[in-house]
Every structure is written in structure tokens, then in C-alpha cells.
Chains A and B, each alone.
Chain A
Amino acid sequence: MNEGGPGGVEARDAVSAPILAVENLTKHFPVKGGLFRRSNAVVQAVDDVSFLVRKGETLGIVGESGCGKSTTARLLMHLIASDRGHIRFAGRLVGAAHGLSRRNLHRQMQMVFQDSYASLNPRLPVAMSIAFGPFVHGLAKSQAQQRAMQLLQAVGLDPLLFANRYPHELSGGQRQRINIARALALEPRIVILDEAVSALDKSVEAQVLNLLADLKAEFDLTYIFISHDLNVVRYISDRVMVMYLGKVVEIGPVNQIYRNPQHPYTQALLTAMPSMDPRRRTLRAPLSGDPPNPISPPSGCRFRTRCPFAEKVCEAVPPQLLAGAQAAAVACHMRFPGSGHSRAANTVSH
């Protein structure tokens, strides 16, 4: 049974109902070339991605550059249009006639970007940047400013010192707090953090992570935390989703995935994390070669060109994301008997 589907694991758990359901999200970018600039190739940035987000949790999304994490974030926010697939927020279909409009989705879901400086209009004082969202949704200017002040306080910045400053006068950490305040200004239920702490110094990163945790409790938020830093993801997430070349390869509770990864790619990623323990040295590079071109991904399982366990069936049949042991799901032929893979018989982890 598909973890992402309606009859899946999640649906049984009525207490933490899915606040966001993503179904078959697909986005291909045309590549222009030739005499008339026609698109003769596509970049398969996100391909048939489905997952659930439960209310109040933090879902981490990890993967290498180019795996489609940021594109997924932008698709969720409807900043770019998807080619196929739906998104349901609290059960309501986004974009449909009787569902949730795009405009209203933005009141429920907001995003914090990676580049703290580029995320702020250099010509506006930061309070105005924060107040812009509420202002646009009908709040009077003074009320919007009021909310901006409150939020500045909430993210730990004294309004008297910071309200009228400009982005270039602030440090990276301060700017990112402003960005978080801006994201919260519309009182969303979900906040997507796209590499939001990746560009910060480690000490500042720790502060911002703690701030995020406090805010989550205070405002009863749900987070989607995108990062390539596996340590941070482990620290902050409840569940984690691993992406490779536009597809979801594994998803499940964070500790389980980190302790007992089922997909060869996840295993390689985790092995690649430098360890503080001298007894666990990495002797061999876990992954060989460069990630293949997203324009012409390998047939069947996209990871097969770098997978030490690849077999004929991996080339022929793309693996489905199927529920495996204990509330996790993985997309690998090795894990499911009857797939045709020689290792499929034993599902014991190693």
C-alpha cells in the first residue's frame, strides 16, 4: 500500500491528520535549443512525487543538489505551476473550484528562502517588508505595521532598534529572523524552510534553529525543512523524506531512517556523513560517479547507475514507493519480495 495514498498508514492515525497531502506532483522544464528555440528535451525536475505532512510535525527533505527539493518547495507554494498532480490542504484541493484558492493557500502556507539578503527588498525598511503580506491581504497599514512590530519581538529583535533598518545594515542571522517574521506575518499553518539556515555561521544557525523550535510551539506550526545538511535535519525533524533526481526514494520517522536506512542511496548519504567516532571511519567513498543528467535520467530506477546492487530488473522497472517496515516507505526492488531482484527475498536490514 502506498504511504502517500488515502488508505495508507497515515489515514489510520486520526489524531494527527494530514494537513498537507501531495499527490503525483510532476514538473518538467523544457530545454530550449535549435533553430526555432523549440524544446527538444526536458529536465525532469520533479517526477510523480507524493507524500503527506502531518499537522504539527516537522518533515525534513534531504537530497543532493539537483534532486528537486527546491522545485518541490516552489511547487507547493504555487510559485511555479505543476504539470501534473494535486495538493490538498486540510483535505481541500488547491486550485479547484470548490477547494482552496491560490490566494488563500498563501495565507496557510509560507516559505523562508535560503539567501537572507536577496529575500528582502533592499529599498524597503524591514518592518515594511514584514507588513507587506498582511497589507496586501486587506489589513490597514497601521494594523499591518502593528503586526510587524509584534513579530519582530517574537523573533527576538527589538522593534525600537530594528523596525526602520534596511537589509544591508543587518547581519545574516538578523536578516533571516526578519524573513521568518515575514513568513509568519500572514499567520500560516505551514512554513516551508528552503535551506533557511544553510548560509549562516554555525553558531548563528544554532540560535535560529532554537528560535524556529520556540516559534513552532508558540504558534502551533507545521514545518517542512529542506536541507542538504543531514545533521541539522536529524536534529529538527520528526520525519524525513529522501529525494533523488526528482523522485522520492525513502520516507519515514527520522530516527528509524537514520539508524536503519533501507534505500542504498540513503545508506550512502548517511555513510558519507563524517563521524566524530574514530572507530567508524569511512574507508571507501560510498558513492561513485556524478549524479546523472536530470535531462535524460536512467530508465527504471534512477539510482541504478550508482547503485552497487543494481540488476536487470532495476533497469526495466521503476520501483514504486511502498510501505515497508514500521511506518516507513522505500522505493527499491531489493526490499520487496516478488519484484524480481535477487536480494528481494531477505528484507533483513544490515
Chain B
Amino acid sequence: MWAFTLRRLLYAVPVLLGVSMLVFALIHLAPGDVVDILVPPEVPKEIADGLRRRFRLDEPIYLQYLAWLSRLMVGDFGISFFTGRPVAEELFGALGNTLIIALPAALLGFSLGIVLGALAAYSRDSWLDKVFSATAIIGVSLPHYWVGIVLVAIFSVVLNMLPAQGMGFEGVPTSWTEIEHLILPVITLSLIPMGVTSRLVRANMLEILSQEFVGTLHAKGLAKRRVLYHTLKNAAPSALALMGLQFGYLLGGSILVETVFNWPGSGGLMNLAIFRRDVPVLSATILVLAAIFVVINILVDVLQALIDPRMRR
């Protein structure tokens, strides 16, 4: 088991390096460079070149990459082109804001998803199952950012019950009015995890229920509830894997929902950075989000291997 974990961790290192190289390559493929953005085009060439030397842009590319990488390792994510403040501050604050909607969304999506999926599996082929299947397909085909817009249209514009945009508070919500800001974004974010989880749970449970050992369990005289418990235990690993991945997608893909609701999370930060051509902020955010995703993947793999010994390749 420990050999597996260690192997998995070691393996993540080249992947992370590859990710950093990819982001760095993208930055360098971008049209124009730092200096073009900082100074107006009328500035004489010598001054621009001097600036370039100062920023070490004339050095060979692998040296620039190594310098960039070493700065990253100590937590120096650079300075924002736009605000002049260190990127790290803004980034981690924004990440926190994203977590405030991502965590509840994940919980909501997974729990509802598991319940719905299990229900559907249990009552297979009944009308309930058919309704479920229809809902699942619809859920997966809906653009979630559009659902956000529709929810705003209904609950903010027409009914005027909930705020349409913005976070409305700093840090953690304390009052109901502050929580009101959370409701619509969380619901919108939870849709995709709910849809995907319910589909998987239903499929897994169906497959396991049809396997022979369940018949054996029934024959042993186990009560239905105990059989259910055994079934869940078998379905757990792949469900866990999926949920981990979904959470990663939530973190990395929250940009669309955050744009709809003007939520100042990591997605919103990326949005601003794109708009302002603020490359340091954008690249740092992408890098951090990807790194978090890699870490989540490792955790999921290890957890899976813990539960299901067959997974320890």
C-alpha cells in the first residue's frame, strides 16, 4: 500500500513539471511580451530593450523557465500587470471565495446525486426510473451557465427573491442576507456533479445488484438493508473517483458560473485577467488550479486503492 502511494506521489512530479512547462510555453507563445504591455509603443527601441534586459527577457528560454519555476517554488507568483500587487495575495483570496460556493455545491450535488441514483437503481424500469433517465439526460445537456441565467431571470428579475449578482460579504457568510447571495450560484454549480454522480451511481448499483454474490447475500438471509450496505461498499471506489474528479472540475471550471453571478472567485479573477491581458495573474491561476487538480487525483487514487485492494496495481 505504501509502495503504491509513494509511486503515485513520485509520478505526480513529472506531471506537474509538464504542466508548468505547458503554461510557460503558452505564455511565451502569446503575442507580445511584458514590455509591450508596460510601455507605450512610441517609446524608443533602446529603452524598450533595456527594460527587456532588466526583466531578463533576452536570456535563453530554458533559463527563463528555470528562473520562473524557482520563483514559483518559493511562492513568488509574480506581480500583477494591472494592480501592481503580488499575484499570490489576490489569488488565494479568490480561491477562498470559490471554495465558499464549490464546497456546498459539491456536497449538494453528490448527496442528491447518490440518493437519486440509488433510488433509480432500486426501482429499475419503473416509471420513476424512466423519469430519472430523462432528467439525467436533460441535466447533462444543459449548459450550466445558462441555467444560472435562467435562475436569475426567475428568482431575481421576476420574483425578486434573491440577489442576482455579487458576493455581498467578505470571508464566511454570517447572516441570512449574506447566505442569500450563495443560494443561486451553489445550485447552479451543483447541477453537473449531481447529474454525473446520479448516472454513475445508478449504473454501478445496477451492475452490482445483478452480480451473483448479491444473490448469495440474499440467500444467506441478510436483510435488504445489509445487502444495500454491501452493494454500496462495492460501488464506492469508482463513485469516489468520480466525485473527486468532479470536485476538481468544480474548482477549475467555476469560471462560467462565477461570470454569470459576478462572483469574485478564482474564475472571476481569471476573467478579469483575460480582459486586462494580465498574464502573470492568469498563468498563476491556471497553474495553481491545475496543481490542485493533480493533488485531488492523487488523493482519489490512494483512497480508491485503500478501499479496493484490486486497484493497487
Contacts and interface: CB of A to CB of B under 8 A. Distances in A.
Interface of A: 34-36
A243 B7 CA distance: 40
Interface in B1-60: 3, 6-7
Nearest to A32: B313
Contacts of B3: 34-35
A343 B89 CA distance: 88
Contacts of B6: 35
A34 B6 CA distance: 12
Contacts of A35: 3, 6-7
5 contacts: A34-B3, A35-B3, A35-B6, A35-B7, A36-B7
A36 B3 CA distance: 9
A36 B8 CA distance: 11
Nearest to A36: B7
Nearest to A37: B7
Contacts of B7: 35-36
B72 to A, nearest CB: 28
B298 to A, nearest CB: 17
B58 to A, nearest CB: 42
B310 to A, nearest CB: 15
A31 to B, nearest CB: 14
A35 B7 CA distance: 7
A88 B123 CA distance: 66
A129 to B, nearest CB: 34
A74 to B, nearest CB: 26
Contacts of A34: 3
Nearest to A34: B3
A117 B249 CA distance: 43
Contacts of A36: 7
B23 to A, nearest CB: 29
B302 to A, nearest CB: 15
Nearest to A35: B3
Nearest to B6: A35
Query: Which 5 residue pairs of A and B lie closest in terms of their CB atoms, listed nearest first?
Result: A35-B3, A35-B7, A35-B6, A34-B3, A36-B7
Nearest to A33: B3
A36 B7 CA distance: 8
A350 B7 CA distance: 59
Nearest to B3: A35
Interface in B66-88: none
A35 B6 CA distance: 8
Nearest to B7: A35
B132 to A, nearest CB: 34
Nearest to B2: A35
A54 to B, nearest CB: 47
A34 B7 CA distance: 10
A34 B312 CA distance: 11
Interface in B161-213: none
A35 B3 CA distance: 5
Nearest to B4: A35
A32 to B, nearest CB: 10
A122 to B, nearest CB: 24
A35 B1 CA distance: 10
A36 B4 CA distance: 10
A35 B11 CA distance: 12
Interface string B259-303: 000000000000000000000000000000000000000000000
A36 B6 CA distance: 10
A90 B287 CA distance: 64
A35 B9 CA distance: 12
A323 to B, nearest CB: 49
A66 B7 CA distance: 32
A280 B6 CA distance: 61
A34 B3 CA distance: 7
A341 B7 CA distance: 51
